[in-house]
Amino acid sequence: MMSLNQYQDIELQQNADFTNIITLDSSHTMTSNMKYAAVIVKDYNHSSFTGPGKSQGTDGTAASNDVWASGSQNEVHFDVVADRSAGTITLTLPAEAIQYFDDNFEGYWDLVEKDDQAADAWVRHIQGDVTISKGATKLTHTFTASVA
């Protein structure tokens, strides 16, 4: 669990990959029983919005063959990697996904831990607001290599 900084606003920049490394307090023990989920929602009622969804791949798990598409969503899952030895949880969302958020999207996010073996199974570690920073360049534009 995090004892400080339990609220963190994030800005997703269009046409850029997003990474957020969350370090848990050293007093919190991460075990192999623990699972993690982190999502973005428009509101806490999970109202629909136009945003990215995986048309190929597994929500919450990054893979080289993930395919993102625009559509009506109720939530968008960050890809999550929990590192027990480091006591960190890394949240990522690729530029290929972020491009599908509406320019004026504002919402919320949180990171929740579930321990299948404990009576107090659910812990919300951190939460915050989400905004989109608009981008002029599109991923489909021509990119020019640097010169010597």
Task: Return the pLDDT at 4.
Answer: 53
Phi and psi torsions of 63, nearest 5°: -145, 155
If one counts every other C-beta atom within 10 angstroms of the C-beta of residue 72, the result is 9
Whole-structure pTM value: 0.88
Most confident of 1-10, 40-49, 56-65: 40-49
Task: Return the pLDDT at 73.
Answer: 96
Average pLDDT, the chain: 90
